[in-house]
Structure 1
Amino acid sequence: MSETVKVVCYKSKTLSDGKHPLMVRICKDGKKKYQSLGISILPSHWDFKKNEPNDSCPNRDEIRLLIQQRLFELQKTILSKKIEGKEFTASSLLSPSQSAKAHLHNNVGECFNYYVRFLKEQGRLRYAGMYEVSYNSFVKYAGSLDIPFSDVNVVWLKKYEIWMHKQGLAVNTIGTRIRHLRAVFNMAIEYHVIDKECYPFQSYKVSKVSQSPPKRSMTKVDIQKVLSYKGKTDIEILAISLFTFSYYCAGINFIDMAMLKHSNITGGKLCYLRAKTKKQIVIPLHPMAINVIARYSDATVGNNSFIFPILSHFHQTEVQKVNRLHKVLAKVNGTLKEIGERIGLPIKLTTYVARHSYATVLKRAGVSTAIISESLGHSSEKITQTYLDSFENSQIEDAMSHLD
């Protein structure tokens, strides 16, 4: 029996904001299997006949591209299985554990490299690169990771931690490396490659290999010093523009700013999909943010052109984009650091300081933590974004009035 693969607006589940989740639906042998696409949408923005976002949907092109990519991946997997004469079900197509169990063994290095490939296939090249750095660190310490998971016990981890300290690396860097290894362990257990008895992180607590992050927020007085700084070069002007835009646009991060196009602006609001979480974000455009956009409007033409002069049509592949983003971010943060020192700021200035400062200013103004939390780092970042998704735009607009 032939199979059908579609992405549908799942009306059987309604979220608190009135949206329905978009779900991949596979029908095969009389059985249906659903899997979330990680996006929710209002029914008024969905064409139920064509199974795609309609013309009134914010970020219509981005959502369609995400749908097309996911359907292409599944159709490619189905075709490969048919060519190889392999049986499959709707459930096995949506479960990565089946293919993993067929190719992975009780080998740390093998599983680590599989995880890196998985991140790359998902387009998360930056994170894949971070895991590769961690992998190389473990190989340098142990000589080889072609070892069974049972070899990596509490003693092994403590010795690695001591070795890293002797290299002069920061505590948080050590913690990041070990958390990457823990993620590989979790994957191996999830895919039934190893038993839970091999898990050393019940006794070895990664949380102790960390320290409080440096202060990343500023007072309104210091923020205004940055916003009023007059850049003397193109890179200084860009750096201040990005900081300003982030501060006035709910702490949007550098990657998302770089990916913004003029089509992301509709009805006086900024609508985009977060690169990290694939969550749809809709926020009102503050007048100061509009001024920043206008500053670069002459250099960018067309609804599909980027708002900021960071990416262009020359950057076609994901590798090209990642390399370009990494290079520009380093220049921007280096420039912001110099500006911060020049105007006497008490902390190191980066684009991420705008994100933290946005949250802190609203918090100190008495804005409910249900709308925006005091910190936007790590775990709280996802929580804060979830809150932003779930509240009415009028509440967000009222909250953002405190930014001036």
Structure 2
Amino acid sequence: MANITFKLRKPNANTQQLIYLVYRFGRNDKLVYSTGLKVLPRYWNTEKMRVRNLVEALGKEAINERLNLLFSASENFCIETKAKGYEVTKESLKNFLDVFTGKTKSVNENTFHGFVEAFLIRNKERTNPNTGKIISYKVQQEHKRTFHYLQEYERERLNGKQLDFNDITIDFYSDFTAYLQSLGLALNTIGHKIQTLKVWLNEATFKGINTNNQYKNQRFRAVTEQTDSVYLSVKELEQIYSTDCKSERLNKVRDLFLVGAFTGLRFSDVTSLTKDNIKGSTISIEQHKTGKRVAIPLHPIVINIWNKYGEKLPKQISNQKFNEYIKEVCKLAGIDSIEQKNITKGGFRVRQSFKKYELITSHTARRSFATNLYLSGFPAISIMPITGHTTERAFMRYIRVTPEQHAELLRKHWIDSGQYMKIAK
């Protein structure tokens, strides 16, 4: 296989050099993997990519035999991977070579633990079947956290016994969720853990590794509840826009947040905007999460921010840092009204009070966009393609509209339609 070659790190050196296995992925990408073997460059045959058959080349037979094994194993791995319909990637080939050379232990995917460990490794190159794009870092971290909680559960509740597929029963579900509640996790957080567990089990079932289908029982469900997430009114957004944070770091976060609040784009889409996405006075972008193209007119505030940075936006920072900084921004802007939040935590319904800025995250921008448009009388059916909601029911759960605001919308409708005037006559 021409894609696999062996090269020396420094072919013209006078000292022993490491031999590297090189696998090329097209013209511009390659995996360079250390075999751990060394040879003096003068004993190396560049054309044959093996140690020369010279008396003074000590250990040549052992080195060449090892190189032959590495070549054959790598070649067979690539052939078998492609035959199964998978793509050979740098990550998958490196993981295989790590196991083959003994750098890491092989895992038995026929066990639950072995399957999940292998799944977590493949997660770095796994694609979303709906979009064809690599699974996001956030989702990858959720999978790792879920496995961590399962391992903690095994230590605490099973005296260290490892779960296997046949152990994932309705009784396990009840005990595992009770354990997570005892840790004080919120109901939605527990729901995410169960949903992730079901992703693993679906994959293992599809591959014929798991035959226990109790996880498909309707009682084995990822329970969720509607959260009391906040939104920012147009007035509050303008208040933030007019606030000078006296810090370049915070001003950049403020501006990115406002772009999200006046476009409805997710944080990952906002930070990936380029000139190519601007068509006249409209943003046209394929959303990272859904793969669907949306077109959004440029709001005056977005235009000002876009021009401020020379027809681009500030560089992306981690979502964690963004959420930390945007709270500082909103505190400086005086977004400090007292908000009540209900949450199921540790199995109990708890009501807590917060200053509003404490509840602001990157996602608040998107929720504010949808809520403000709806309250202005803009039809939900026209907002949904931007937010990605496929049903009006899901959209109405997403936005934050109080009963009083619904009443005001109805009153406005009666006034605009002239019904108040008819009654007055």
TM range (shorter): 0.5 to 0.7
- C-alpha distance in 2 between matches for 1:111 and 1:89: 17
Cα 1:90/1:121, change in 2 over 3 Å: closer
SS at match of 1:192: coil
Paired residues of 1:217 and 1:357 also in contact (CA < 8 A): yes
Unaligned runs of 5+ in 1: 1-67, 74-78, 301-306, 312-323, 385-404
Paired residues of 1:258 and 1:310 also in contact (CA < 8 A): yes
Instruction: Compute the TM-score of the two structures, normalised by the length of structure 2.
Output: 0.56
Unaligned runs of 5+ in 2: 1-24, 31-70, 93-106, 127-133, 340-355, 396-425
- C-alpha distance in 2 between matches for 1:288 and 1:351: 18
Tell me which amino acid in the other structure corresponds to 2:214: Y
Instruction: Give 1:340 shift.
Output: 6.2
> CA deviation digits over 1:147-174, x for unaligned, max 9?
3211011111211111112212222211
SS at match of 1:370: helix
Q: State yes or no: 1:260 paired with 2:273.
A: yes
Cα 1:366/1:274, change in 2 over 3 Å: same
Instruction: Give 1:128 shift.
Output: 0.9
- C-alpha distance in 1 between matches for 2:294 and 2:73: 37
- Of the two structures, which has the highest relative contact order with CA contacts closer than 8 Å and spacing of 6 or more? 1
Instruction: Give 1:273 shift.
Output: 3.1
Q: State yes or no: 1:290 paired with 2:303.
A: yes
Instruction: Give 1:285 shift.
Output: 1.9
Cα 1:80/1:287, change in 2 over 3 Å: farther
1:364 paired residue among 359, 375, 384? 375
Instruction: Give 1:199 shift.
Output: 3.0
Instruction: Give 1:341 shift.
Output: 5.4
Equivalent residue, structure 1, for 2:324: 331
Instruction: Name which one, 1 or 2, has greater alpha-carbon Rg.
Output: 2
Equivalent residue, structure 2, for 1:223: 237
Cα 1:180/1:375, change in 2 over 3 Å: farther
Q: State yes or no: 1:93 paired with 2:85.
A: yes
1:112 paired residue among 98, 109, 116? 116
Count of residues in Structure 1 that have an aligned counterpart in Structure 2: 283
- C-alpha distance in 1 between matches for 2:205 and 2:188: 25
Equivalent residue, structure 1, for 2:176: 160
Paired residues of 2:239 and 2:333 also in contact (CA < 8 A): no
Instruction: Give 1:113 shift.
Output: 2.4
Equivalent residue, structure 1, for 2:75: 83
* Identity fraction in percent: 20
Cα 1:89/1:114, change in 2 over 3 Å: closer
Equivalent residue, structure 1, for 2:256: 242
- C-alpha distance in 1 between matches for 2:299 and 2:228: 29
- C-alpha distance in 2 between matches for 1:117 and 1:80: 23
Instruction: Give 1:339 shift.
Output: 3.8
Instruction: Give 1:289 shift.
Output: 0.7
Paired residues of 1:149 and 1:194 also in contact (CA < 8 A): yes
Paired residues of 2:154 and 2:162 also in contact (CA < 8 A): no
> CA deviation digits over 1:180-227, x for unaligned, max 9?
1111111112222222x43324143434x3222123324333333333
> CA deviation digits over 1:8-53, x for unaligned, max 9?
xxxxxxxxxxxxxxxxxxxxxxxxxxxxxxxxxxxxxxxxxxxxxx
Q: State yes or no: 1:142 paired with 2:154.
A: yes
SS at match of 2:208: coil
Equivalent residue, structure 2, for 1:309: 314
Instruction: Give 1:88 shift.
Output: 7.3
- C-alpha distance in 1 between matches for 2:241 and 2:369: 13
Paired residues of 1:119 and 1:127 also in contact (CA < 8 A): no
1:273 paired residue among 243, 267, 286? 286
- C-alpha distance in 2 between matches for 1:188 and 1:95: 19
Q: State yes or no: 1:351 paired with 2:331.
A: no
Paired residues of 1:242 and 1:351 also in contact (CA < 8 A): no
Decide which moves more: 145-154 or 337-346. Answer: 337-346
- C-alpha distance in 2 between matches for 1:254 and 1:145: 41
Cα 1:184/1:80, change in 2 over 3 Å: farther
Cα 1:147/1:351, change in 2 over 3 Å: closer
What is the aligned-residue RMSD (CA, Å)?
3.9
Tell me which amino acid in the other structure corresponds to 1:84: N
Instruction: Give 1:132 shift.
Output: 0.4
SS at match of 2:283: strand
Tell me which amino acid in the other structure corresponds to 1:135: F
Decide which moves more: 285-294 or 80-89. Answer: 80-89
Paired residues of 1:243 and 1:354 also in contact (CA < 8 A): yes
> CA deviation digits over 1:281-331, x for unaligned, max 9?
33222222110111212xx8xxxxxx33324xxxxxxxxxxxx52453243
Equivalent residue, structure 2, for 1:198: 213
